[in-house]
Amino acid sequence: MTTTCTRRISALAATTAILLFAQAAGAADLMPAVEPTPTAEAIGAVSPWQIRVRGLGVITNDEGSVDGVAGSDLSYSDSVIPELDITYYFTDNLAAELILGTTWAGIYGEGSLAGLGRIGSTWVLPPTLTLQYHFTDFGAFKPYVGAGVNYTIFYNQNADSATALHVKDSFGFALQAGFDYMINEHWGVNFDVKKIFLRPDFDVTVGGANLTGNAKLDPWLIGGGVTYRF
């Protein structure tokens, strides 16, 4: 093989290699860019904050007594109020909820006190903090249970048939059960039932006599409303 022939073969091989490289580079440029796959944490990330607005029925346990008055009993007016609660999720299952609302209640004499009629009235502010467990295996239906503590403040108190009335602020315990049904990622509807064990002491003056007693309110709080998860 002559030197000229060898050079031609080498040049042809080099040209072929350059063309193949150029075609491969062009094909790579035409391929769509592959987006990074989002992690499970990024897909499932939601805010830990949630609020609810409910209409709430407050149904009291009509029981109580005045110390030293045989056959004495008490009853209290029920009410319907708006309520706001704020929830913070520590995990998908564990959350804390602060429940805010206020209502008015009349206090009535019963039993041997029935002749007194309405003894007095008071506004009631019962902020309640519960720790909840949320069940997460039912899709859009999200039931929960909770338990916590309540501190009830009695304010703007007025005496009617009594001369003076003072219901004392009091701690209580709370139990809770309910569910959210989520319409989408953020909005849902809620139904909730709470039982608050609340038995404040009171001082009352009737006919010039200073008396003490205990009001066994123990209200049920039954409500429904709208949920928003941030």
Look at residue 93 in the predicted model and tell me its pLDDT: 98
Rg of the chain in Å (alpha carbons)? 35
Range 194-210 average pLDDT: 96
* Structure token digits, residue 67: 């110390």
pLDDT at 15 over 90: no
Look at residue 46 in the predicted model and tell me its pLDDT: 81
Range 18-24 average pLDDT: 47
Look at residue 36 in the predicted model and tell me its pLDDT: 52
Query: Burial code of 190-212, b = ≥16 C-beta within 10 A, e = fewer?
Result: bebebbbebebebebebeeeebe
Query: Tell me: the pLDDT tens digits for 129-143?
Result: 999 999 999 999 999
Name the percent of the chain lying above pLDDT 90: 80
Look at residue 69 in the predicted model and tell me its pLDDT: 96
Q: Would you say the pTM of this structure is higher than 0.85?
A: no
Provide the CA 161 distance to its chain's centre, in angstroms: 39
Q: Which of 37-46, 72-81, 86-95 has the lowest mean pLDDT?
A: 37-46
pLDDT at 8 over 90: no
pLDDT at 21 over 70: no
Query: Tell me: the pLDDT tens digits for 160-187?
Result: 999 999 999 999 999 999 999 999 999 9
d(C-alpha 122, C-alpha 157), whole Å: 4
Q: Of residues 11 and 73, which shows the higher confidence score?
A: 73
Q: For residues 168 and 153, is the Cβ–Cβ distance under 8 A? A: no
Task: Give CA separation, 27 vs 14, 24, 32, 148, in Å.
Answer: 20, 5, 10, 65
Element (H, E) at 113: none
Range 47-58 average pLDDT: 97
